[in-house]
């Protein structure tokens, strides 16, 4: 009879754990006597002491108690760091070490999932990897019976009362501080998630061109008490404010925004730019949260597309058309496809705003629309795909391969599904010829990658 090895750790006890990698949420992945233990806050190359909090057959989760041997790349984060919040798990790791790990991660997944052996370029990072997010969404509620505004504690719905966030634009941090101050002044009741009572449940803010701010106060009530005072005081405390909305979310749900949006004051839209392209953002518009790196990402995709002005380009999963408009300036024709109808409406408005009449947009499921375009005789020279984390539907990949475009530019937010999809396309005559990661979200494990797939008969002509 085969001997079954006993689990070498026990609940509630401390063990020295040697950390060798990071998990998908930025937690340290280590081993004790060959048994896998996840430890949040631990970095690769460290030995830590951790208390076992969760124990399964194949792994355990430990709570970091002591760093026995620190990584040479461990750094002290700036003031305003809240270690109990899980939104920036790598902030204690030197930024260059983060970029090296992300490059290695992309290469590893391409090889082990996709069987793709290709050189991965060094990750394009940021000169200043802090305060890059132009959007903030924070809950307002109770913590131990007291009002709290901030992000949730890791793996919980307990709000960490925060005064600032290291990743947020300074203007949205000022909005956070202003809401905290005004809520106290006006005694606006915070939302009690457990009881389903109270008024103010979320604050949403976004910065646009020139640092201007759009704010949304999400309430559980139809009316915002002291509405006029809220408007007056927010304008005083946040000089950058140009647009204010109230959103009503009465449902007991984790969905932040409800269906009803009331315009309280200021402009109806927020002006934003990426490079020299202009965008008008409504409260529900999707827009990349790191404008500096978004420009880098899109210019990287544009460079990979190698457009001459003669091409028909399809932008699958086009969202609000941001990549489409970058492409339209150098292509003969761009067709964007997006399932979410409000995003298509925004895309059309943004095309008009920028005077680009060679970009058109279709609302519909990409897996259904692409075969329809093929049946209509559309023959794209280049296809750009920017799917969600789940990657592309195989029906989409099959249609793309049937078209046989010279180049496929795959913009990925998940290197695992990029590797899977590239592996499928390899069976249909395409090879990954260039891979360029871009760090859109410093101090997190998220990785954006632009991959160029070239038709094998064209490989000799790729750059």
d(CA 210, CA 64): 42
What is the reported pLDDT for 458?
Answer: 55
| Closest by Cα among 154, 164, 120 to 23 | 154
Does residue 318 carry a catalytic annotation? no
- As a whole number of angstroms, the distance between CA 148 and CA 69 comes to 36
What are the φ and ψ backbone dihedral angles of 316, each rounded to 5 degrees?
Answer: -80, 145
Structure tokens, 439: 């760090």
Q: Alpha-carbon distance 100 to 163, whole Å? A: 32
Q: Which residues are annotated as a binding site for S-adenosyl-L-methionine?
A: 288, 317, 338, 386
State pLDDT tens for residues 25-51.
999 999 999 999 999 999 999 999 999
Domain ranges of the chain: 13-69, 99-127+290-455, 135-274
Strands 277-281 and 270-274, how do they pair?
antiparallel
Instruction: Encode pLDDT of 361-384 as tens digits.
Output: 999 999 999 999 999 999 999 999
The answer, yes or no, to whether residue 459 has pLDDT greater than 60, is no
Q: 178: pLDDT confidence band, cut at 50, 70 and 90? A: very high
**What CA–CA distance (Å, rounded) separates 226 from 246?**
13
- Inform me whether the pLDDT recorded for 463 exceeds 60: no
Q: Which residues are annotated as a binding site?
A: 288, 317, 338, 386
The whole-number average pLDDT for the span 115-119 is 96
Query: What CATH topology corresponds to 13-69?
Result: OB fold (Dihydrolipoamide Acetyltransferase, E2P) (2.40.50)
Strands (E), 118-180: 135-143, 146-149
Domain 135-274 has CATH 2.40.50.1070: yes
Find the catalytic residue in 165, 318, 392, 413.
413
Q: According to CATH, what is the number of the domain 99-127+290-455?
A: 3.40.50.150
Q: Are 23 and 29 in contact (CB under 8 A)?
A: yes
175-181: average pLDDT: 96
Give pLDDT, residue 285. Answer: 87
Sheet with 359-363: strands ordered across: 359-363, 333-338, 312-316, 382-385, 407-412, 448-455, 430-438
Same fold for the pair 99-127+290-455 and 135-274: no
- Residues contacting residue 248 through CB under 8 Å, at least 6 positions apart: 218, 219, 220, 221, 222, 258, 259, 260, 261, 262
Q: Give the mean model confidence (pLDDT) for residues 290-302.
A: 97
């Amino acid at each position: 009879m085969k001997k079954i090895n006993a689990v070498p750790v026990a609940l509630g006890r401390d063990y020295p754990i040697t950390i060798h990698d990071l998990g998908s949420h930025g937690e340290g992945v280590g081993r004790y006597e060959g048994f896998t233990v996840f430890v949040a806050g631990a970095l690769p190359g460290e030995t830590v002491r951790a208390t076992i909090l969760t124990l399964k057959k194949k792994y355990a989760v430990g709570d970091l108690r002591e760093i026995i041997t620190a990584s040479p790349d461990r750094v002290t984060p700036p003031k305003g760091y809240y270690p109990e919040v899980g939104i920036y798990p790598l902030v204690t790791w030197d930024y260059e070490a983060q970029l090296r790990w992300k490059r290695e991660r992309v290469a590893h997944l391409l090889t082990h999932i996709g069987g793709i052996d290709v050189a991965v370029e060094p990750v394009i990072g940021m000169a200043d990897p802090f305060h890059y997010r132009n959007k903030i969404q924070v809950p307002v509620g109770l913590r131990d019976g007291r009002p709290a505004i901030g992000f949730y504690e890791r793996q919980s719905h307990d709000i960490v009362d925060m005064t600032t966030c290291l990743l947020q634009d300074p203007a949205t941090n000022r909005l956070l501080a202003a809401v905290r101050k005004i809520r106290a002044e006006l005694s606006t009741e915070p939302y009690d998630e457990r009881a389903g009572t109270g008024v103010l449940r979320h604050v949403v803010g976004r910065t646009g061109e020139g640092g201007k701010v759009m704010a949304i106060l999400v309430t559980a009530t139809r009316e915002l008490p002291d509405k006029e005072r809220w408007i007056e005081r927010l304008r005083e405390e946040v000089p950058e404010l140009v647009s204010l909305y109230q959103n009503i979310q009465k449902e007991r749900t984790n969905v932040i925004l409800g269906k009803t949006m009331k315009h309280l004051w200021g402009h109806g839209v927020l002006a934003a730019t990426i490079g020299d392209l202009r965008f008008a953002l409504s409260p529900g518009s999707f827009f990349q949260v790191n404008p500096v790196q978004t420009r880098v990402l899109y210019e990287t995709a544009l460079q990979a597309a190698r457009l001459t002005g003669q091409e028909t380009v399809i932008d699958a999963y086009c969202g609000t058309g941001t990549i489409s408009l970058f492409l339209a300036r150098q292509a003969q024709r761009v067709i964007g496809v997006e399932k979410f109808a409000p995003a298509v409406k925004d895309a059309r408005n943004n095309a008009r705003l920028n005077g680009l009449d060679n970009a058109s947009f279709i609302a519909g499921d990409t897996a259904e629309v692409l075969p329809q375009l093929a049946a209509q005789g559309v023959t794209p020279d280049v296809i750009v795909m920017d799917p969600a984390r789940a990657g592309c539907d195989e029906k989409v990949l099959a249609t793309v391969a049937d078209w046989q475009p010279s180049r496929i530019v795959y913009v990925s937010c998940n290197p695992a599904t990029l590797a899977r999809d590239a592996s499928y396309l390899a069976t249909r005559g395409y090879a990954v010829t260039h891979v360029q990661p871009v760090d859109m979200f410093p101090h997190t494990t998220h990785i954006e990658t632009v991959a160029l797939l070239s038709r094998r008969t064209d490989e000799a002509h790729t750059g």
